């Protein structure tokens, strides 16, 4: 299961992932992700709640790397992840190291929002 929401007022993208995402669902996720990105300006923030996501396979990791590249091109400012399943968290941390991707972690979406709100408006400088 996934949910992708954009908040244009805060210039923020929210992605929630749960369970085991199989290939067809991952493709639908990518389409939803790209559609919501169109609502935001460069310098947007991402809150990625993967607290209920189970580990993925190698194809899933490759797709994650593609999404990370898209985020960089589209001008993401700050990425905050919420991760509770240890193996899924380790997979994402490994993928981040391999690409030089930086992200922060939070215990909840509310904590992530508070931290991003404290940074001020998310817009391209």
Q: What is the pLDDT of residues 81-118, one digit of tens each?
A: 897 766 666 776 776 676 666 788 888 999 999 999 99
- CA dist 25 and 31 (Å) reads 10
Q: What is the pTM assigned to this prediction?
A: 0.84
| % of the chain with per-residue pLDDT over 90 | 36
Q: What is the pLDDT of residue 89?
A: 67
Domain 2-119 has CATH 3.30.160.110: no
Return the axis-axis angle of helices 58-74 and 86-99, rounded to nearest 10°: 50
pLDDT digits (tens, 9 = 90+) for 15-47: 998 888 888 888 898 899 899 999 999 999 999
CB 22 within 8 A of CB 11: no
Ranges of each domain in the chain: 2-119
Burial 22-55 (b: 16+ CB within 10 A, else e): eeeebeebbeebeebbeebeebbbbbbbbbebee
């Amino acid at each position: 299961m996934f949910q992708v929401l954009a908040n244009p007022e805060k210039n923020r993208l929210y992605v929630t992932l749960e369970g085991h995402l199989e290939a067809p669902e991952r493709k639908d996720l990518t389409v939803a992700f790209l559609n919501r990105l169109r609502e935001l300006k460069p310098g947007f923030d991402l809150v990625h709640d993967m607290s209920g996501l189970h580990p993925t396979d190698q194809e899933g990791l490759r797709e994650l790397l593609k999404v990370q590249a898209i985020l960089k091109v589209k001008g993401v400012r700050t990425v905050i992840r919420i991760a509770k399943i240890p193996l899924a968290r380790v997979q994402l941390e490994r993928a981040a190291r391999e690409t030089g991707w930086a992200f922060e972690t939070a215990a909840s979406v509310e904590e992530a929002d508070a931290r991003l709100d404290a940074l001020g408006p998310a817009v391209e400088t």
